[in-house]
Structure 1
Amino acid sequence: MANPKVRLETSKGDILVELFESEAPETVKNFLRYVDEEFYDGTIFHRVIKGFMVQGGGMDSQMRERDTHEPVKNEANNGVKNTRGTLAMARTMDPHSATAQFFINTVDNGFLNFKGENTQGWGYCVFGQVVEGIDAVDAMESERTRSFGYHQDVPADTISIISARRVED
């Protein structure tokens, strides 16, 4: 059975992602729940750090956080690495706090990989890979950034997620 795919229509271009259902089943189920609820429509990529990643999926254009479902258990111990073009769940210092926000690695970020089941070692769960549209990710990464309230690395020009939809093969 083929892995599920989701097309993110963004203001920088479309990004097609393949989700790693066998490696991160609960994380993929969680992400697809938000996709199916059209939760990501109208959210933004609110954090962009050149040479690191682009993060989005939880805030609107006014930097207001959307209400989310309960957090998902961290599945970063699945053997999948944080390499260029992979999708991973964003979270707080609590390793099991990821809800809707995700990021796309723009470079290999080995320091984000699972190292052990402790606060410092959990890492960030990779649950998918960009299969088309890495140029849109690169365009996001090159955006000028600014501070917005207590948020840093916010794109000066809003980068919107217009829609996120499942794609059938």
Structure 2
Amino acid sequence: MKRLLLLAAGLLMAGSALAGPRVELVTNMGTLQVELNESSAPASVANFLRYVDDGSYNNSLFHRLIPGFVVQGGGFDTDHEPLPTYAPVINESGNGLSNLSGTIAMARTQDPDSATRQFYINLSDNLSLDGGRKAGYTVFGRVIDGEQVLQQMAQVPTGMNLKLRARDVPEQPIILQQVRRLAHGDAAH
């Protein structure tokens, strides 16, 4: 029995050692926690954490929402002004991770290696974003807590925003009030 308990404890410790960095996204609609996958998307995770650690995601917007598809944010302040970016990161979409519901991925332009600070969370399975023969969109983590917050976000009406010259902009602002790295061992509630 003692041997079995030691084996179980060892497996639990090994599982927690394999867990990637965790980040908390506090929004005006509730809190999400994401776990990042450093082993599959090291450049994307390092890039995302750079913005987390410098505090520049704080008081930014989820500026794009397409129910049943994605909610996208991190690139604009609450006045819909673009936020400064670091250099783009290489595309890591061929990393074996897929754009499944609840995963977090890098937004980019038509240039596969153009991702900077904007990210999105998949609201459904979006396998077409994986790319196939072309470069897709890099998945670098997954939501581990706060699925109900994503469901609430998906209910927010959207429309055209003339300042952004964009459709699918939430009519009620969805604000990323605070984004912070969690200490190792902080668990999803």
Structure 1 length-normalised TM: 0.96
Distance 1:39 1:142 in 2: 26
- Are residues 1:88 and 2:105 paired? yes
Q: What residue is the counterpart of 1:76 in the other structure?
A: 93
Q: What residue is the counterpart of 1:144 in the other structure?
A: 157
Q: What residue is the counterpart of 2:28 in the other structure?
A: 11
Higher relative contact order (CA 8 A, sep 6+): 1
CA shift digits 1:58-81 (9 cap, x unpaired): 101221110100000000010100
Distance 1:29 1:45 in 2: 21
Distance 1:18 1:114 in 2: 23
Aligned CA-pair RMSD: 0.7
State the secondary structure of the residue aligned to 1:98.
Answer: coil
Q: What residue is the counterpart of 1:111 in the other structure?
A: 128
Structure 2 length-normalised TM: 0.86
Displacement of 1:159:
0.4
Distance 1:40 1:159 in 2: 13
Distance 1:158 1:93 in 2: 27
**1:33-44 mapped onto 2 (5 Å cutoff):** 33-44=50-61
State the secondary structure of the residue aligned to 2:94.
Answer: helix
Q: What residue is the counterpart of 1:67 in the other structure?
A: 84
Distance 1:111 1:91 in 2: 15
- Are residues 1:163 and 2:178 paired? yes
Number of matched pairs: 165
Runs (4+) of structure 1 moved beyond 4 Å? none
Q: What residue is the counterpart of 1:20 in the other structure?
A: 37
Q: Where does the alignment leave 5 or more consecutive residues of structure 2 unmatched?
A: 1-16
Query: Which among 43, 68, 74 is matched to residue 51 of structure 1?
Result: 68
Q: Where does the alignment leave 5 or more consecutive residues of structure 1 unmatched?
A: none
Distance 1:135 1:83 in 2: 16
Displacement of 1:138:
1.2
Displacement of 1:37:
0.2
Displacement of 1:114:
3.2
Percentage of pairs with the same residue = 46
Instruction: Name the amino acid aligned to 1:145.
Output: T
Q: What residue is the counterpart of 2:135 in the other structure?
A: 122
**Rg: which structure is higher?**
2
